[in-house]
C-alpha cells in the first residue's frame, strides 16, 4: 500500500519516536548509521550562506531577519550545487543512476539545515501580501481577550474597506477613460529587477547579478504598456528616476492624446511614489498648464491589482526561457513579450535622469500646514490633486470644478465626499534669490560595488558575459 508514493516502511521511519525529523535515507547502508560530523554540518551551513541574499524593503517590521534568495533556486537545486562542489561523483550519479547514490549529505539533511538554521525564502523581496493585513492577522492570532479581538477585527475591516475603495476608484477611472477623451489614466510600478547574465549554469547562483530596472507605465485607455529600462550601473531607482520617466513619456503621449485631465495610480511607496519630489513635479506640471488637473491616487500594496502586474507577467514568462548576457538584450525581449500588443520600450542611461528630489528640497517647505491649521499627515494621504479639483457644492448636491494653481489639495481616503485638505507647498523665496533650476542627476554612471564587479569579471573569464558588460 502506498499513499502519495510514500511506502509503509518510510511512513514507519518517519514516525520513529525521538526524531523530530525523518532520519536520513538509509537505503544501501546495510544498517551502518552515518553520523554527520560538525565539520560537515559547518560545510553545509557555509554553503547555504554563500548564496547572495536580498532584504525586503517592505516587510522589515514583520519579519526583520528574512532574506531572499534568487527566485530560480530551490533547496533541491542548492543541494545539487553542494554535491557538485563537494561530492562531484554523487552529483553525476544523481543524473545517471540515482539508486546507487551514496552521498554523505542527503537532500533531507540539507533541507533540515536550511529550515532550522536560516530564515531564507526564494523570490521577490517585496511582500505580495499587504503588511497591514499581515499585522492584523498576527495580532488576532495572539489575542485571547474577546473585546480586544473585536476591536482588532474592526480595524482590519476598516483597512480592507479603504483598500477596496482604492481598487474601485481605479476601475471607475480606467473604464471612464475608454470613452472619455478628456481623461488620460495611467498606472505605474517597478517590475522585479531583471538579471544579466540570466544563464542558469551552476556557478551563477553564487554570484551577484547585474540588474536591469524596469519602470512600467500602463495606459488604461489604450492598454499600451510603456517600459523604461536602465542598468543599475547607470542610475538608481528612487523618486527622481520615477519623475524623470513620467515626464519623458507623459509629455510625449500628451501630444497625441491632448486630454485635459491626468489621473495617476500607484502604490504609496514613500521612496518612489509618495514623496515631495513627486509632489513638486506634478504641482509644476499642472502649473505649466500641460493638464488642467492632475490627480495622483495611491493604492495599498498587496491590494493594488495594478494592470502593470499583468504587463509584467508577460515579461516574467519570457524571462524564464531567455538567455540574457547583457542589460541591453532585455530591450527586444521585453518589447516582444506581449504578442497581441507589443510593449513600447525606452532604454535609458544616466544622462536621462534629472534631480527632482534636490529641486523639491529647494522649492518646498519642510513640513506642510493645511489651511484649517492642522499639520498634513503626509504618509496618510491617499489622493493628491493639482491644478483644479472637483468639490462638493455647499448644498452637497453637485460637484463643481475649482481651480487652485497655488495650492495642493489632498484627501486621506478615496471618498469623493471627503472635504479636501488644502495647502500651499512652496517655500517663501528670499529677496533677490534665484528660482532653483532642475539639473541632471548624474554626471557619469553610478557604477557597481567592488564585490559585484569581481563576480561579473569572473563570469567574463568564463565567457558568460560579453565586452559590453565588462565595460562596467
Ligand atoms: Zn491590507
Ligand 1 centroid – CA 22 distance (Å): 38
Compute the 3-state secondary structure of the chain and give helix, strand, coil in percent, each to the nearest 5: 40, 20, 40
Ligand 1 centroid – CA 159 distance (Å): 6
Ligand 1 centroid – CA 470 distance (Å): 43
What pLDDT was estimated at residue 61?
43
Ligand 1 centroid – CA 422 distance (Å): 28
Ligand 1 centroid – CA 190 distance (Å): 20
Q: Count the neighbouring beta carbons within 10 Å of the beta carbon of residue 471.
A: 9
Coil vs helix vs strand at 336: helix
Q: Are 292 and 257 in contact (CB under 8 A)?
A: no
d(CA 187, CA 449) in angstroms, rounded, equals 32
Ligand 1 centroid – CA 243 distance (Å): 27
| Cell numbers that stand for 246 in this block | 513620467
pLDDT in tens, 341-366: 999 999 999 999 999 999 999 999 99
Segment (H or E) for 155: helix 146-179
Question: For residue 232, what is the DSSP state?
Answer: T
Ligand 1 centroid – CA 437 distance (Å): 40
Ligand 1 centroid – CA 161 distance (Å): 9
d(CA 278, CA 360) in angstroms, rounded, equals 8
Residues 310-313: contacts with CB within 8 Å, 24+ apart? 311/216, 311/218, 311/225, 311/227, 311/338, 311/343, 312/189, 312/191, 312/192, 312/214, 312/216
Question: For residue 99, what is the DSSP state?
Answer: G
Ligand 1 centroid – CA 134 distance (Å): 7
Ligand 1 centroid – CA 164 distance (Å): 9
Question: For residue 409, what is the DSSP state?
Answer: E
Q: Are 79 and 101 in contact (CB under 8 A)?
A: no
Peptide bond into 197 cis (omega under 30): yes
Ordered by start, the domain boundaries in the chain are 27-122, 167-470
d(CA 409, CA 413) in angstroms, rounded, equals 13
Ligand 1 centroid – CA 68 distance (Å): 22
Q: Which residues of the chain have pLDDT under 50?
A: 1-33, 57-62, 125, 127
Ligand 1 centroid – CA 178 distance (Å): 29
Q: Count the neighbouring beta carbons within 10 Å of the beta carbon of residue 133.
A: 17
Torsion from C-alpha of 167, 173, 178, 181, nearest 10 degrees: -160
| Cell numbers that stand for 411 in this block | 484627501
The count of residues in the chain is 472
What pLDDT was estimated at residue 48?
93
Ligand 1 centroid – CA 410 distance (Å): 22
Ligand 1 centroid – CA 171 distance (Å): 18
Ligand 1 centroid – CA 163 distance (Å): 7
Ligand 1 centroid – CA 374 distance (Å): 27
Amino acid at each position: 500500500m502506498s499513499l502519495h508514493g510514500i511506502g509503509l516502511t518510510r511512513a514507519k521511519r518517519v514516525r520513529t519516536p525521538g526524531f523530530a525529523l525523518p532520519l536520513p535515507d538509509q537505503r544501501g547502508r546495510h544498517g551502518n548509521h552515518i553520523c554527520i560530523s560538525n565539520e560537515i554540518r559547518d560545510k553545509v551551513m557555509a554553503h547555504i550562506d554563500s548564496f547572495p541574499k536580498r532584504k525586503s524593503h517592505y516587510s522589515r517590521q514583520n519579519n526583520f531577519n528574512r532574506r531572499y534568495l534568487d527566485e530560480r533556486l530551490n533547496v533541491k537545486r542548492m543541494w545539487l550545487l553542494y554535491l557538485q562542489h563537494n561530492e562531484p561523483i554523487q552529483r553525476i550519479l544523481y543524473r545517471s543512476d540515482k539508486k546507487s547514490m551514496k552521498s554523505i549529505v542527503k537532500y533531507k539533511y540539507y533541507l533540515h539545515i536550511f529550515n532550522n538554521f536560516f530564515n531564507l525564502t526564494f523570490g521577490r523581496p517585496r511582500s505580495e501580501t499587504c503588511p497591514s493585513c499581515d499585522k492584523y492577522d498576527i495580532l488576532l492570532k495572539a489575542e485571547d481577550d474577546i473585546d480586544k479581538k473585536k476591536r482588532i477585527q474592526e480595524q482590519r475591516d476598516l483597512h480592507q474597506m479603504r483598500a477596496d475603495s482604492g481598487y474601485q476608484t481605479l476601475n471607475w477611472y480606467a473604464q471612464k477613460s475608454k470613452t472619455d477623451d478628456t481623461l488620460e489614466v495611467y498606472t505605474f510600478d517597478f517590475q522585479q529587477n531583471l538579471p544579466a547574465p540570466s544563464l542558469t549554469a551552476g556557478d551563477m547562483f553564487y554570484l551577484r547579478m547585474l540588474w536591469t530596472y524596469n519602470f512600467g507605465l500602463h495606459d488604461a485607455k489604450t492598454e499600451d504598456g510603456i517600459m523604461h529600462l536602465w542598468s543599475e550601473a547607470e542610475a538608481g531607482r528612487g523618486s527622481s528616476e520615477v519623475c524623470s520617466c513620467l515626464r519623458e513619456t507623459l509629455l510625449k503621449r500628451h501630444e497625441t492624446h491632448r486630454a485635459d485631465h491626468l489621473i495617476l495610480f500607484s502604490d504609496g511607496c514613500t521612496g518612489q511614489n509618495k514623496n515631495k519630489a513627486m509632489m513638486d513635479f506634478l504641482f509644476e506640471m499642472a502649473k505649466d498648464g500641460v493638464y488642467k488637473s492632475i490627480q495622483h491616487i495611491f493604492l495599498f500594496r498587496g491590494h493594488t491589482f495594478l494592470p502593470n502586474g499583468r504587463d509584467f507577467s508577460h515579461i516574467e514568462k519570457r524571462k524564464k526561457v531567455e538567455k540574457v548576457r547583457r542589460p541591453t538584450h532585455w530591450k527586444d525581449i521585453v518589447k516582444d513579450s506581449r504578442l497581441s500588443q507589443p510593449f513600447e520600450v525606452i532604454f535609458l542611461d544616466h544622462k536621462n535622469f534629472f534631480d527632482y528630489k534636490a529641486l523639491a528640497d529647494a522649492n518646498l517647505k519642510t513640513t506642510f500646514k493645511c489651511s484649517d491649521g492642522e499639520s498634513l499627515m503626509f504618509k496618510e494621504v491617499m489622493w493628491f490633486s493639482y491644478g483644479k479639483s472637483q468639490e462638493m457644492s455647499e448644498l452637497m448636491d453637485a460637484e463643481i470644478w475649482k481651480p487652485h494653481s497655488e495650492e495642493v489639495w489632498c484627501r486621506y481616503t478615496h471618498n469623493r465626499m471627503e472635504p479636501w485638505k488644502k495647502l500651499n507647498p512652496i517655500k517663501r523665496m528670499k529677496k533677490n534669490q534665484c528660482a532653483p533650476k532642475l539639473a541632471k542627476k548624474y554626471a557619469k554612471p553610478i557604477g557597481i560595488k567592488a564585490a559585484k564587479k569581481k563576480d561579473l569579471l569572473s563570469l567574463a573569464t568564463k565567457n558568460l558575459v560579453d565586452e559590453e558588460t565588462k565595460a562596467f
